[in-house]
Structure 1
Amino acid sequence: MDARLHIGIAGAGLLGRLLAWRLVRLGHAVSVFDAAPEPGPRYGKRQAAAFSAAGMLSPLAEFENAGASVAHWGIRSLGMWEAMATQLSGAPFHQRRGSLLLAHAGDLGTAVRMLSRLKNAPSQLQAPQMLERAQLARIEPALHGIAHAWLLPDEGQLDPPQMMASLHADASAAGVLWRWNQPVTQVAPHAIATADGSMHRFDIAFDVRGVGAKTDSSDAMPVRGVRGETVWLHAPEHGLTRPVRLLHPRHRVYLVPRPGDIVVVGATEIESEDRSPVSLRSAVELMAAAHSIMPALAEARILRMDSNLRPALPDNEPRIEHQDGRVRINGLFRHGWLIAPAVVQDALAACGLVHQPQLHQLAEAVL
């Protein structure tokens, strides 16, 4: 499709920013509508789920609870993120040094069950590599007291706030029009309706509002919010260099190092649309688990406790719906940063905005 189109996007979260960045680079006129008052994060208030995420790019680890489609989207997106990180302004943090699975001595059974499920993952992903204690100490000396460890070599991470800022900045510089303080009430074919009663006409309208799409008309996807909670710690010279998952019978606690001596700790996945602050139980469990494998965190300072809602559909699988003049993407659940570039590319291909052969050239072409 070579003609310049006028395209509207409802939602300025991760999908909205990726779409805007990609579409304006293709030469289209793009307008993005969002209820937020500004593009940056608003911790403690309603904000895009992408700002609250840990930013782990873990197609193998996530295969434990996700289907093959998520794994394949994740595999494709790994190279796409790597390429984008070199092209976006602001030098957003991104690395692929693998991730770690850890287990205490009493939780070996939990680890074995998880590893057995990972054996069915796509063959493009390297299998987990068991590490002896000396090997773990050599690559991550900040970790202590761990009986069992495995390296997942293909995995990576990025910094969500930095990447969100870079996508917004570069899309803005290319001409994207951002309509902040504009809650969307409906996305129809060729049109986006806003809360002030206006109806905005477009050649194509994209609906990527996540949980916000629940307020739409009766034909909306059956999206629900799944609560997640994280603790942000400031730990100067903490020494952790790659994401870590601590396997536990009840949950998977993750520790993710970020630029600025920050470690993000999270695990919770609660079937609730409660947006209240982090609970005492969650905070204590998260920090105790983190301290059990990383003693240096004892002197860390708590920067923030954050909670947000991930958008999920009944089967916890993402969905792309296309009809003439409207494309809807929702249900990225806990996999947003892992799979978003490939999902966006497939959505653009579905409505003819990119050619299907490009799907296999993404690492070089950068979306």
Structure 2
Amino acid sequence: MPLQPSSFAILGAGLMGRMLAVELARQGHQIDLYDAGSPAAEGSAATVAAAMLAPLAESAITEPGVVRMGHHALTRWPQLLASLAEPVFFQQAGTLIVWHRQDAADAQRLTRQLETNQHRVPELPRLQKLSSDALAQAEPTLAHRFSQGLYLPGEGQLDNRQLLAALGVEMETLSVRMHWHSPQSPDTFTPGTPGQPDWVLDCRGLGAKGQWSALRGVRGEVVRIHAPDVTLQRPTRLVHPRYPIYIAPKENHLFVIGATEIESDDLSPASVRSTLELLSAAYAVHPGFAEGRILELATQCRPTLPDNLPAIRKTRQGVLEINGLYRHGFMIAPALLDVTLEVLNTGQSALSQRFDLALTLEPSPSAAPSATARALA
């Protein structure tokens, strides 16, 4: 039975908070959105992300459930973007993986791992092994730079900042009441009582650490470069034993380059070492980056749970917490959106089982914690 018109307080105006605000407002609900920052989402990990949608490529470091979420997103993102008034750059031209000759052994191991993962998630398109000539045909700008590569069809990317801005415009159109520079926690609210919202949805990422103590930050460092001499057509990853970088080409010769994963919630500026490694690796992929211009060197911490997997939990009546998107935010956000909407509309979610998503809807403090509950604690 669909959820009757209700009032929602959504905490956190990053990617999940904005997506939920838009979808719930479209369903006719009254939405109040609270965030510690401004409409620019400067405190959100989503502002810094490369926003790649690469389930097979990411299968090298995550579980099949997350890979299935990523496959789900490849269908859902075009639908979600088509409903927005503002245009958002979206591309689904696949992922290219390359390596230098000295790293061929690492590339062989990665290839075997990806082939194994394809058997676990058979709905994914099959990877293609590229010879030097096939690589040159797929990505002419890399002709004669690499002797072979891998092509992962169907994978994609979008422009994260265009999306956050477009969602902001949509919220205004839908009369979402936005409370900027107004940090809130679930403890502020008593859902279901007079003058209070019916539901509180906590999407604050690391800002929710006070309520979800197991959260930790995983620091990433990302550089944005304008490089007119570089014409990469699709996200490209470099196999490397120390800094396996990704290069995500956006519109107008803008490239988002990253690689680093540091177990830390330190938000200080990027280190010289990380910056040198990122830029030297990018230059090794394409020397045209040497004449590019560094527009931004940013750091951010991704909200991560102990198993590096996302989770949704109901901590008390009317309070849902959605967190742990880690490095896969844009790739898994549509799946978490659809699971949350199922839970709100039906009280359960069949999709969560398909995605192996940790979903806890009946907290019972007096009972012994279940395996799922222990994982979320």
CA shift for structure 1 position 120: 2.2
Alpha-carbon separation, structure 2, partners of 1:212 and 1:191: 20
1:210 to 205, 209, 212: 205
Q: Is the 8 A contact 1:98 1:242 kept in 2?
A: yes
Aligned pairs for 1:315-334 (under 5 A) are 315-322=307-314, 323-334=316-327
Letter in 2 for 1:148: Q
In the other structure, the counterpart of 2:90 is 94
Aligned pairs for 1:50-89 (under 5 A) are 50-89=46-85
2:9 partner SS: strand
Runs of 4+ in structure 1 over 4 Å off = 187-192, 353-359
2:196 to 189, 195, 201: 201
Q: Is the 8 A contact 1:234 1:263 kept in 2?
A: yes
User: Per-residue CA shift, 1:175-219, capped at 9, x if unaligned?
Assistant: 111110101244477459xxxxxx982101000100000134xxx
Letter in 2 for 1:241: Q
CA shift for structure 1 position 347: 1.6
User: Per-residue CA shift, 1:250-273, capped at 9, x if unaligned?
Assistant: 232000101122111100000011
With normalisation by structure 1, the TM-score equals: 0.89
Change (3 A) 1:280 1:191: farther
Letter in 1 for 2:226: H
Aligned pairs for 1:10-159 (under 5 A) are 10-36=11-37, 38-42=38-42, 47-118=43-114, 119-121=116-118, 122-143=121-142, 145-159=145-159
CA shift for structure 1 position 358: 9.1
Aligned pairs for 1:177-256 (under 5 A) are 177-187=177-187, 190-191=190-191, 201-216=196-211, 220-256=212-248
Alpha-carbon separation, structure 1, partners of 2:217 and 2:350: 35
CA shift for structure 1 position 87: 2.3
1:309 partner SS: strand
Q: Is the 8 A contact 2:186 2:319 kept in 1?
A: no
In the other structure, the counterpart of 1:346 is 339
Aligned pairs for 1:158-177 (under 5 A) are 158-177=158-177
Number of aligned residues: 346
CA shift for structure 1 position 168: 1.4
Alpha-carbon separation, structure 1, partners of 2:185 and 2:341: 23
Alpha-carbon separation, structure 1, partners of 2:217 and 2:196: 29
CA shift for structure 1 position 90: 1.7
2:255 partner SS: strand
1:278 to 260, 263, 270: 270
Letter in 1 for 2:253: D
2:141 partner SS: coil
Letter in 2 for 1:3: Q
Q: Is the 8 A contact 1:59 1:75 kept in 2?
A: yes
Alpha-carbon separation, structure 2, partners of 1:175 and 1:221: 34
My pick for the range that moved more, 131-140 or 271-280, is 131-140
With normalisation by structure 2, the TM-score equals: 0.87
User: Per-residue CA shift, 1:211-268, capped at 9, x if unaligned?
Assistant: 000134xxx2510110000111111252111000101112320001011221111000
Cα RMSD (Å):
2.2
2:256 partner SS: strand
Alpha-carbon separation, structure 2, partners of 1:163 and 1:184: 24
Identity %: 39
> Which sections of structure 1, spanning at least 5 residues, go unmatched?
193-198, 360-367
Change (3 A) 1:99 1:240: same
Alpha-carbon separation, structure 2, partners of 1:89 and 1:132: 42
Letter in 2 for 1:80: R
Q: Is the 8 A contact 1:41 1:161 kept in 2?
A: no
> Which sections of structure 2, spanning at least 5 residues, go unmatched?
353-377
